Structures are given as C-alpha cells and as structure tokens.
Amino acid sequence: MAARRYDPERRQRIIDAAIRVVGEKGIAGLSHRSVAAEADVPLGSTTYHFRTLDELMVAALRQANEGFAKVVRSRGALEDRRVDLAGELAGLMGEWLAGERTGVELEYELYLAALRRPALRPVAAEWCQDLAELIADRTDPVTARALVALMDGICLQVLLTGGEYDEAYAREMLARLIP
C-alpha cells in the first residue's frame, strides 16, 4: 500500500478551484470531477474533503463572502460616528463593485445559488446578518436590515444590467432609510 502524501493545503486548493470553476463555467459547471481537474488532485480528494457538492459550495460561498467583508474591514469607517453612514455605505459598494468584476459576479452567483440549494441558505443569510449587525451599531436593527436589502438590490441591478454604479444615487437612496 502506498504511503499517503501529506498535503495540508489540499482542502484550500479544492475550494479555490471550485471558485475558479464557478467563475469560468457557472454553477452548472461545478462538479467534483471539474473541481478535481482544476485543482489537479484525484477525484477522491474532493469527495474526501467535501462529501457532497453542497458542502463544497458552502465552503466556496463562505470564502467568496469575504470579498465584501474585506472592503468593509479595510475602510473601517462604519465605527466612526462622525462619518456619514449613507455616504460610507455607498462608498463601500462603489469600492467593491469597482474591484475585479468577475469576483463580484462570482460572489453573487454563489449567493443566488441558495435559491435552489437549501444548504447554502444559512451561509447567504450569514452575510446579510453580519453586515446588518455592523450597520446596526450606527442605527437600529430594523433599519440596518433594510439598508442591507437596498444595498443588495442596487448591487444586483448594476451586475444584471451591466450598468455603471451611481454612488450619488446610492447615497441618496440609503439616506432616505436612515432616521
């Protein structure tokens, strides 16, 4: 029997490969086989680390969700009560949408896959809840949830129409929700 090769990075490489596959082929192109080929690992490795495709998609969505979270953390202005909340949120969306468009689209593709895959719903909900909790420190929880929903809608419209993000419009609409 051959010795098992020690490869502590393999699980992460499989997640990264899943994200690349979805980015290139969409959710429909995601399979254990396509991910194994992309990660250059045996098929058994993908099923060892992720028994089901849903488990793999959950891991990929969790990692993809980090894109917007990184933008929020890097700016750090949500904690500063002197900063205009509507302006800061509009700026966050602008910075995120101005990044690599493929990554943003991928994040939303995985996020929207939760419509058909119940296993993804808790992860999609985590993203909304975590952002709402950050915003709730500056307003109330109900307004924070409404702001997240509006931000989500604006981002989806920009992505689906291929239009340009209008930060002034976003700021004005967000400001209308803030008491």
Within a domain: residue 82? yes
Looking at the structure, tell me whether residues 46 and 72 fall in a common domain.
Answer: no
Q: What angle do CA 97, 77, 106 make, to 5 degrees?
A: 25
Q: Please give the tally of structural domains in the chain.
A: 2
**What pLDDT shows up at residue 6?**
67
Within a domain: residue 173? yes
Range of the domain at 86: 65-177
Q: What is the CATH number of the domain that holds 28?
A: 1.10.10.60
Q: Could you tell me the pTM of the whole model?
A: 0.81
Looking at the structure, tell me whether residues 131 and 151 fall in a common domain.
Answer: yes
- pLDDT digits over 22-74, tens only? 988 988 999 999 999 999 999 999 999 999 999 999 998 888 887 777 777 77
Identity of the amino acid at 69? A
Within a domain: residue 1? no
- Nearby residues of 32 by Cβ (< 8 Å), 6 or more positions away: 43, 46, 47, 50, 53, 56
Within a domain: residue 163? yes
- Confidence tier at 3 by pLDDT (50, 70, 90): very low
- pLDDT digits over 62-120, tens only? 888 877 777 777 777 688 888 899 999 999 999 889 877 777 888 888 888 888 999 88
